[in-house]
Amino acid sequence: MIRPILKFGDTPLHEPAAEVGVLSDEIQKLIDDMIETMYAAPGIGLAAPQVGVPLRIFVVDLSFGRDAGGLKVFVNPVFLERDGVQLEEEGCLSVPGFNATVARPQRAVVKGRDRHGDECTVEGTDLLARAFQHEMDHLDGKLFLDRVRGIKRDLIVKKIRKLSRAGKW
């Protein structure tokens, strides 16, 4: 089932998510829904808080579903390593229509459980490292706009507030 994606300003996006305990049928359904929602958006990543569920789960697929091995599911992920810096423009399904340049690690190693409860460790570089950091930020109650400073951030927030007042956000 495709779930609605929360937008900047919705409270659950700005609060840290809780760890997942048992990988119940309900959690499996959530993961399925997150994958379907991510592909439908379309996006390359989605965190549970973005669909209103404050749990530490995210999904990433840089291939948009075209590569069967491209989908990565992380439950209770943590960073083992992060190094280097890349500066690239980035957007977010929860901040539709807006992009900004954000500093992210060039390389990131994430450890967590997969949807079956098995421990997994994945190293990502370039776009995958960026996606890992972006989704982990969601689990910590942050959006990419929280990493943008100065006039660029102010302009985006001002435009979002204007859209919100007009009922278009």
Alpha carbon separation from 145 to 53, 115, 159, 163 (Å, rounded): 20, 29, 13, 16
User: Catalytic one among 19, 36, 89, 135?
Assistant: 135
Which tokens sit at 84?
Answer: 């280097």
Half-sphere exposure of 166 (CA within 13 A, CB side): 8
Q: Is the dihedral of CA 66, 113, 4, 167 positive or negative?
A: negative
The side-by-side arrangement of strands in the sheet containing 72-83 is 45-47, 57-60, 72-83, 107-113, 119-125
Q: Dihedral sign, CA of 30, 35, 40, 46?
A: positive
Which residue bears the tokens 């399925």? 32
Active site residue 135: yes
CA dihedral 94, 100, 106, 108 (to 10 degrees): -20
By annotation, the residues acting in catalysis are 135
